[in-house]
């Protein structure tokens, strides 16, 4: 195993070169200059680890290959079992707000918002195969639509919600037009550019959007016209007076959660039905082969535009809900990292698989909250997971199942 050792040694040197300027030699500002604080432990440790790993790689590979073969094939539960599990989950989702504490309900609401976003992006990326890196732009438009309507027009959440969705959908439609001719990577970059432009515009149009500070004090949703506040504005009755309950700040949290749940369920139902409609089939055809799709007489323009528009619609709904939950919107909430997070939800769950998207959205919002001690490492792990998923399981946690029929041999 002579070449193995040489190879491992070279890799270790490479690792040393890579580790040294980042972890071994820390730059510390001192006065006008900078000085170094050297710490060789991480470098040597890292090099040793890489060296050993390279030496053992073949052996490890064989061990894991054997291990994978031993794993039983994934069980394919029957329809009844799946339906039962789905119902149980749904029931659990309805009971949760009445059993959980404030923090839990809040995180669950956030997870539901991300589920809505993930399902929306799943239309564009999963079904139609168009990589959209600027999805957060539509989310921002939804959030700002409600915020601005509230601030300038005094609109309530329920009046603004459809407008927010429509606004985002309109932008999705408008932005869809120019990118129609682009494919693959180019499309990804242009959508990324759009997302950034929207954020920059929101930051710089200070007269309208109050610039980087954003808009604060956005009202929470009302229940049938009854605000869930301690005191009602003139001419209306508060929710707790209306029902004769005592005022409890928990009410509004539960209410927000239920709205988010309703929205997520609506998105789930809607996207699942869409997938089975002719338009959904057309999206999948486009994803698999654009040229073949065109040859069969399908119009790619309409297919792509509908995917962009409908995807953006859900982002708009989620955005309005986000604005209501936070009570505050500013451009900081809509950076590229947010787009990457939603994309990671879709990719991690399995492109085109609604169940996978839901699982990934819950994982990616709840896990960071559980591992608060690892907060520093959150984004690091997040990036790593994206890479590793592509290496080991590009089809996602719960791969989309396509209806297929195998001929008996």
Q: Which residues are at the interface with another protein (CB under 8 A)?
A: 14, 17-18, 20-23, 25-27, 29, 32-36, 125, 129, 131, 133, 178-179, 181-182, 184-186, 188-190, 192-194, 196-197, 200-201, 203-204, 291, 336-337, 340, 343-344, 347, 351, 376-377, 379-380, 382-387, 389-391, 394-395
Q: Backbone phi, then psi, for 27, in 5-degree steps?
A: -85, 130
Nearer to another protein by Cβ, of 85 and 384: the residue is 384
Q: Minimum Å distance from CB 253 to another protein?
A: 31
How far, in Å, CA of 366 to CA of 314, rounded?
A: 21
Contact between 98 and 254 (Cβ < 8 Å): yes
CB atoms inside a 10 Å sphere around CB 321: 27
| CA dihedral over 153, 159, 160, 166, signed as positive or negative | negative
Q: Minimum Å distance from CB 272 to another protein?
A: 22
Q: Minimum Å distance from CB 248 to another protein?
A: 40
Nearer to another protein by Cβ, of 245 and 384: the residue is 384
Nearest-CA neighbor of 115 among 307, 320, 295, 359? Answer: 359
Q: Minimum Å distance from CB 211 to another protein?
A: 9
CA distances from 275 to 127, 280, 400 (A): 8, 4, 12
- Please name the residues in contact with 364: beta carbons below 8 A apart, sequence gap of 6 or more: 114, 341, 344, 345, 348, 382
Nearer to another protein by Cβ, of 33 and 66: the residue is 33
Q: Minimum Å distance from CB 27 to another protein?
A: 6
Nearer to another protein by Cβ, of 83 and 301: the residue is 301
Nearer to another protein by Cβ, of 27 and 277: the residue is 27
Q: Which residue carries 């031993």 as its tokens?
A: 70
Contact between 342 and 136 (Cβ < 8 Å): yes
Nearer to another protein by Cβ, of 100 and 193: the residue is 193
Concatenating the DSSP letter of every residue in 162-216 gives HHHHHHHHHHHHHHHTGGGG--HHHHHHHHHHHHHHHHHHHHH-HHHH-GGG-EE
Q: Minimum Å distance from CB 277 to another protein?
A: 24
Nearer to another protein by Cβ, of 18 and 363: the residue is 18
How far, in Å, CA of 364 to CA of 344, rounded?
A: 9
Q: Minimum Å distance from CB 399 to another protein?
A: 11
> Which structure tokens are listed for 69?
């073969």
* Residue 26 β-bridge partners: 37
Nearer to another protein by Cβ, of 180 and 258: the residue is 180
How far, in Å, CA of 322 to CA of 342, rounded?
A: 14
> 357: part of which helix (H) or strand (E)?
helix 354-370
- Please name the residues in contact with 333: beta carbons below 8 A apart, sequence gap of 6 or more: 140, 143, 322, 326
Nearest-CA neighbor of 317 among 110, 116, 151, 112? Answer: 116
> Which structure tokens are listed for 289?
């082969």
361-391: buried (b, 16+ CB within 10 Å) or exposed (e) per residue?
Answer: bbbbbeebeeeeeeeeeeeeebeeeeeebee
Q: Minimum Å distance from CB 117 to another protein?
A: 17
> Which structure tokens are listed for 237?
């009755």
Nearer to another protein by Cβ, of 162 and 178: the residue is 178
SS3 56: helix
Q: Minimum Å distance from CB 178 to another protein?
A: 5
Nearer to another protein by Cβ, of 13 and 103: the residue is 13
Nearer to another protein by Cβ, of 141 and 192: the residue is 192
Q: Minimum Å distance from CB 22 to another protein?
A: 4
Q: Minimum Å distance from CB 131 to another protein?
A: 5
């Amino acid at each position: 195993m002579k070449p193995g050792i040489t190879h491992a040694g070279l890799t270790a040197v490479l690792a040393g070169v890579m580790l040294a300027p980042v972890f071994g030699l820390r730059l510390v500002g001192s006065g006008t200059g900078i000085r170094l604080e050297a710490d060789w432990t991480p470098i040597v440790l890292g090099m040793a680890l890489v060296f050993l790993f390279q030496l053992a790689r073949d052996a490890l590979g064989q061990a894991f290959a054997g291990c994978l073969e031993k794993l039983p094939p994934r069980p394919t539960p029957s329809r009844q079992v799946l339906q039962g599990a789905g119902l149980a989950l749904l029931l659990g989702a309805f009971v949760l707000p009445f059993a959980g504490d404030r923090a839990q309900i809040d995180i669950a609401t956030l997870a539901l918002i991300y589920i809505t976003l993930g399902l929306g992006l799943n239309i564009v990326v999963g079904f139609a195969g168009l990589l959209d890196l600027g999805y957060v732009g539509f989310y921002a438009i939804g959030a700002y639509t409600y915020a601005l309507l509230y601030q300038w027009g005094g609109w309530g959440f329920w009046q603004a919600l459809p407008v927010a969705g429509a606004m985002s959908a309109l932008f999705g439609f408008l932005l869809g037009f120019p990118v129609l001719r682009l494919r693959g990577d180019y499309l990804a970059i242009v959508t990324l550019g759009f997302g950034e432009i929207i954020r920059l515009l929101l930051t710089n149009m200070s007269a309208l959007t109050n610039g980087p500070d954003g808009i604060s004090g956005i009202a929470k949703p009302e229940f049938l016209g009854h605000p869930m506040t301690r005191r009602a504005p003139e001419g209306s009755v508060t929710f707790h007076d209306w029902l004769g309950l005592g005022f409890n700040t928990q009410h509004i949290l539960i209410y927000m959660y239920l709205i988010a749940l309703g929205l997520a369920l609506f998105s789930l139902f809607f996207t699942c039905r869409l997938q089975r409609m002719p338009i959904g089939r057309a999206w999948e055809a486009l994803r698999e082969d654009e040229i073949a799709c065109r040859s069969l007489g399908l119009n790619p323009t309409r297919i792509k535009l509908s995917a962009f528009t409908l995807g953006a619609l859900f982002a708009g709904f989620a955005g309005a809900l986000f604005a209501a939950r936070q009570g505050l919107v500013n451009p900081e909430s809509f950076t590229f990292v947010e787009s990457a997070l939603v994309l990671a939800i879709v990719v991690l769950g399995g492109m085109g698989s609604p169940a996978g998207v839901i699982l990934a959205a819950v994982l990616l919002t709840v896990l960071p909250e559980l591992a608060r001690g690892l907060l520093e490492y959150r984004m690091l792990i997040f990036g790593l997971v994206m890479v590793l998923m592509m290496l080991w399981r590009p089809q996602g946690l719960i791969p989309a199942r396509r209806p297929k029929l195998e001929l008996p041999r």
